[in-house]
Amino acid sequence: MKITLWNGEQLRTSSIDGLKGEFTHEAWIGVTDPSIEDLERIATVLALPRHVLIRKLRSNYPHVDTYPEYTKIFVWSLAPYQVETEPSFRKSPVVVLSNGISALTISDSKSGIQQRMEKEVTSRGLNDTSIPARIIYLNMFHVLETYERSAEQLERYSEKLEETIPPWPRRFYAESFAIKKEAGRLLRLLSHFRALTESLARGRIYLRLSEDEKRLLDTIYDRATGVEESTEMSLDVIRDLISMHLDTASHDMNKAMRFMAAITAIVAIPSVIGALLGMNLVDAPWPEHLWQVATVGLVATSLLAAYLYRKGWLGGE
């Protein structure tokens, strides 16, 4: 576990015992890779209710929990990766807890959120913002970047499939359904993340944010809306490709069935003639010769074959 402490002046590492009293004035406490036991000790040192800090450290979707004196924000940070030839992403939980004066963040080292925030928390461009607003903004900003990278990865894969010329390879279905699944996962996360950032920007969550700080968070909401729309477009492209592939397969199947039906009808003519005239009857009243019967059968078969060819049942269009 690593603990980073910033009180507006110096950014330094700290021990758990060194956090005593830090949550009562402006400060940022960044905790990376803690265990439950570590969080229990931190809650004791900071005089935080245990359920406020430890409850709901994981969830299916980004959300905000509000308590009488605290606000806790939960989001997922994403790390795109590739399974064979299919895109996917890993989720890492990120938590921000604030009492309106200071802020505490919990993340794991895999997300890289803590490292990025340490580089930017002292940025002069954020000097006019309170520590809670600054920490929430940086958290949402870097989490949104991970969503944008995942959306860009899915867009590249969907464009790659879109450029594939029929006949499609065997793995088309496997790849397209894998991308569709991941796009659906990302879209659900983005939908909740956008709603969360909208609530922050519109002041629907009590955090003592100034109008300028709300406008700063509003930029995150606008970008989240754009990423959501981009992911929806990628998902629509994949759905259209799957639908077109199914239509093409169905069309090819219909062509095969028509060809088989045409061959059956053509072969049926000489078969029926042969069956009727080949019956072993005494004194059969058939005055025709074999060559005449064969000629009639050949002409009828040829006429039907030509007709079916012109209709496209034998490959002609």
Q: Are 266 and 308 in contact (CB under 8 A)?
A: yes
Q: Are residues 158 and 22 in the same domain?
A: yes
Q: Is the confidence at residue 156, as pLDDT, over 70? A: yes
Note every long-range contact of 196-205, with CB atoms under 8 Å and residues 24 or more positions apart, other chains counting. 196/62, 196/63, 196/64, 196/73, 196/75, 197/140, 197/144, 197/221, 197/224, 199/64, 200/64, 200/136, 200/140, 205/64, 205/66, 205/71
Residue 301 and residue 212 in one domain: no
- Residue percentage of the chain with pLDDT more than 70: 87
The pair of structure tokens assigned to 11 is: 């950014």
Please name the residues in contact with 120: beta carbons below 8 A apart, sequence gap of 6 or more: 126, 138
| pLDDT for position 127 | 78
Mean predicted confidence (pLDDT) in 219-246: 87
Amino acid 272: pLDDT:
78
On the question of pLDDT at 144 being above 90, the answer is: yes
CA 195 → CA 54, 160, 271, distances in Å? 24, 31, 72
Residues 46 and 67 reside in one and the same domain:
yes
Q: What is the pLDDT of residue 81?
A: 74
Shared-domain flag, residues 275 and 223: no
Q: Are residues 138 and 271 in the same domain?
A: no
- Is 317 inside a domain boundary? no
| pLDDT given for residue 167 in this prediction | 63
pLDDT > 90? residue 210: no
Query: What is the per-residue pLDDT for 279?
Result: 58
Q: What percent of the chain has pLDDT over 90?
A: 29
Q: Which residues pair with 3 in a beta bridge?
A: 31
Question: What is the pLDDT averaged over residues 259-280?
Answer: 76
- Tell whether the model's pLDDT for residue 212 goes beyond 70: yes
Task: Look at residues 249, 276, 294 and tell me which one is the last residue of a structural domain.
Answer: 249
Triad 52, 53, 58: Cα angle to 5°: 100
Chain-wide mean pLDDT for the chain?
Answer: 83
**Counted domains in the chain:** 2
Domain-embedded: residue 32: yes
DSSP codes, 144-195: HHHHHHHHHHHHHHHHHHHTPPSSPPTTHHHHHHHHHHHHHHHHHHHHHHHH
The pair of three-digit structure tokens given for residue 178, joined into one six-digit string: 């894998």
Tell me, yes or no, whether 297 and 182 share the same domain: no
**What's the pLDDT band for 290 if we cut at 50, 70, 90?**
low
- Say if residue 242's pLDDT is above 80: no
Residues 7 and 79 in one domain: yes
The CATH number given to whatever domain includes residue 194 is: 3.30.460.20
Does residue 305 form part of some domain?
A: yes
Strand ranges (E), 57-176: 63-66, 71-83, 86-98, 103-107
Stretch 231-249: mean pLDDT: 79
Residue 41 and residue 13 share a domain: yes
Classify residue 221 by burial, with Cβ atoms within 10 Å: 0-12, 13-18, 19+. buried
Asked whether the bond before 167 is cis by omega within 30 degrees of 0, the reply is: yes
Q: Is residue 315 part of a domain?
A: no
> Helix or strand or coil: residue 204?
coil
State which residues form the domain around 117.
Answer: 2-249
Q: Is the confidence at residue 82, as pLDDT, over 70? A: no
Same domain, 123 and 176: yes
What's the rounded Cα separation, in Å, for the pair 117 and 96? 13
Domain membership flag for residue 185:
yes
Is residue 34 a contact partner of residue 40, using CB atoms and an 8 Å limit? no
pLDDT for residue 138 is more than 90: yes
Residue 71, in any domain of the structure: yes
Same-domain pairing of 260 and 244:
no
Higher pLDDT, 108 or 315: 108
Residues 229 and 262 in one domain: no
Residue 151, pLDDT > 60, answer yes
The domain boundary residue, chosen from 211, 228, 249: 249
* Span 132-143, average pLDDT: 92
pLDDT higher than threshold 90 for residue 239: no
Contacts of residue 224, Cβ cutoff 8 Å, sequence gap at least 6? 144, 147, 190, 193, 194, 197
Residue 282 has pLDDT above 60, yes or no: no
184 or 286, which is more confident: 184
Let me know if residue 39 belongs to a domain.
yes
Give residue 263's identity as a one-letter amino acid code.
I
119 and 216 together in one domain: yes
Q: What is the pLDDT of residue 103?
A: 93
Residue 292 lies in a domain: yes
